[in-house]
């Protein structure tokens, strides 16, 4: 398995994998499958820009040539928030979980963010009760700092989101490149 930054050439498998994620796990993502399916291909391609200062970067895990997991980073562009990035769209299909895919994706994202000038921290949200994903993030250096009740409407119900952050300065000082070798149910909001 290898992990690399996705490019525009990866747009079709990326789009398909994410539409699968939105459909299988409506409680994990802020977007719905119908909202994302309606977006033009140019929107999906823009997320895969290869520009060095692109506001969005997406990493993919590949088993041979097959895309088996993704995780994105969104970098803040406003002057007072440029020190922050958000991990989004983390997804590994059930068939490929417990193989270390999620840990490698999170590690790639954190390494990339840590090398981007001025970026000091990465944030994310995870559905409250998704213990496997939250545990993965904790093992990668994320710390919970709050719970947002009624964060996402799923049909007639609501789910809460746990807000987490990782201080990249602490990670660099500690040499914390140790995300777990195996992972659990891996999905987080987008």
Residue 131 in any domain: the answer is: yes
Q: How many domains does the chain have?
A: 1
Average pLDDT, 10 consecutive residues per value, the chain (190 residues): 96 98 95 96 95 94 96 96 97 95 96 95 97 95 97 96 95 63 52
Domain hosting residue 132, numbered range: 2-174
At residue 181, the pLDDT reads 59
In a domain, 71, yes or no: yes
Domain assignment of residue 184, yes or no: no
Q: For position 52, what pLDDT does the model report?
A: 87
Question: Is 188 a member of any domain?
Answer: no
Confidence (pTM): 0.91
In a domain, 128, yes or no: yes
* Predicted pLDDT at 178: 64
DSSP the chain: -EEEE--GGGHHHHHHHHHHHHHH-TTT-SS-HHHHHTS-HHHHHHHT---TT-SEEEEEEEETTEEEEEEEEEE--SGGGTTEEEEEEEE--GGGTTSSHHHHHHHHHHHHHHHSTT--EEEEEEETT-HHHHHHHHHTT-EEEEEEEEEEEETTEEEEEEEEEEEHHHHHHHT-----SS--S-B---
**What count of other Cβ atoms lies within 10 Å of the Cβ of residue 186?**
28
What's the confidence (pLDDT) of residue 155? Answer: 93
Smallest CA-to-CA distance from 57 within 74, 43, 45, 37 is with 74
Evaluate whether residue 126 is within a structural domain.
yes
Place of tokens 């987080």: 188
| 187, part of any domain | no
The predicted structure's pLDDT at residue 42? 96
Q: What is the CATH number of the domain that holds 62?
A: 3.40.630.30
Q: Residue 89 domain-assigned?
A: yes
Instruction: List phi, psi (to 5°) of 92.
Output: -130, 120
Cβ–Cβ under 8 Å, residues 85 and 100: no
């Amino acid at each position: 398995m290898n992990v690399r930054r996705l490019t525009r050439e990866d747009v079709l498998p990326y789009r398909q994998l994410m539409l699968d994620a939105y459909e299988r796990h409506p409680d994990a993502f802020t977007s719905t499958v119908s909202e994302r399916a309606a977006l033009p291909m140019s929107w999906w391609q823009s997320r895969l820009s290869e520009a060095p200062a692109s506001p969005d970067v997406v990493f993919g895990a590949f088993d041979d040539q097959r895309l088996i997991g993704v995780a994105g980073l969104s970098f803040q562009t406003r002057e007072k928030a440029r020190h922050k990035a958000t991990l989004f769209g983390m997804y590994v299909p059930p068939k490929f979980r417990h193989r270390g895919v999620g840990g490698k994706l999170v590690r790639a994202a954190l390494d990339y963010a840590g090398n981007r000038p001025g970026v000091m921290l990465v944030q994310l949200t995870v559905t409250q009760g998704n213990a496997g994903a939250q545990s993965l993030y904790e093992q990668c250096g994320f710390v919970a700092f709050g719970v947002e009740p009624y964060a996402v409407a799923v049909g007639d119900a609501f789910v809460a989101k746990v807000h987490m952050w990782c201080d990249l300065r602490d990670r660099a000082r500690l040499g914390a490149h140790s995300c777990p070798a195996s992972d659990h149910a891996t999905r987080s909001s987008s």
